[in-house]
Amino acid sequence: MRLFLPTARQTNWLLIIGFLAIGYALYLRYLAIEQSTVSLACDAGLKTWLCLSRKVATWLFNHYAFGATALVLAGLNLIRPSLVLFALGLAASGLGIVLYNVGTSALAVALLILSLARPAPATE
C-alpha cells in the first residue's frame, strides 16, 4: 500500500505556498488591519489596493470564511488525497490561523496531517 506522500519537489512547492500564505496573512494583519493610521485612512474613504485588501480580509474573517474553506478542503483531501487539495487547504489554513479563524483552521491542519496516512489514489 502506497501512502499519499509528496515527493521532495512537491514538498518544496508546498513549503513555498505555505510560507507565502502565512507571510501575506501577517502582512495583512499587522500592517493593514491592526495599524490605526491605515484603518482610519481606509475608514475615511481612501481608495487604495491596501484598503480593498483590508476590507475583503475583514469581511472574510468576520464570516469565518478562511476556517470554513480550510476545513472543507482538508476534509475533501482526507477523503480523496490530492496534491492540489492539500496545497489549497494548506494556504487557506495558514491564512485562517493568522487572521483570527484559529479553531477551524487548526482542525483543518490536523486533517491535512492525517491525510498523509491515507493510501494514495490509484494511478491508471
**Considering only CA atoms, which of 88, 83, 95, 91 is closest in space to residue 73?**
88
Does residue 9 register a pLDDT over 90?
yes
Q: Give pTM, 2 decimals.
A: 0.90
Match 468576520 to its residue by C-alpha cell: 62
For 41-82, write each residue's pLDDT tens digit: 999 999 999 999 999 999 999 999 999 999 999 999 999 899
For residue 11 the three cell numbers come to 514538498
On whether the CB atoms of residues 90 and 11 are closer than 8 A, the answer is no
* pLDDT band at residue 124 using 50, 70 and 90 as cut-offs: low
**Considering only CA atoms, which of 89, 67, 69 is closest in space to residue 78?**
89
On whether the CB atoms of residues 97 and 62 are closer than 8 A, the answer is no
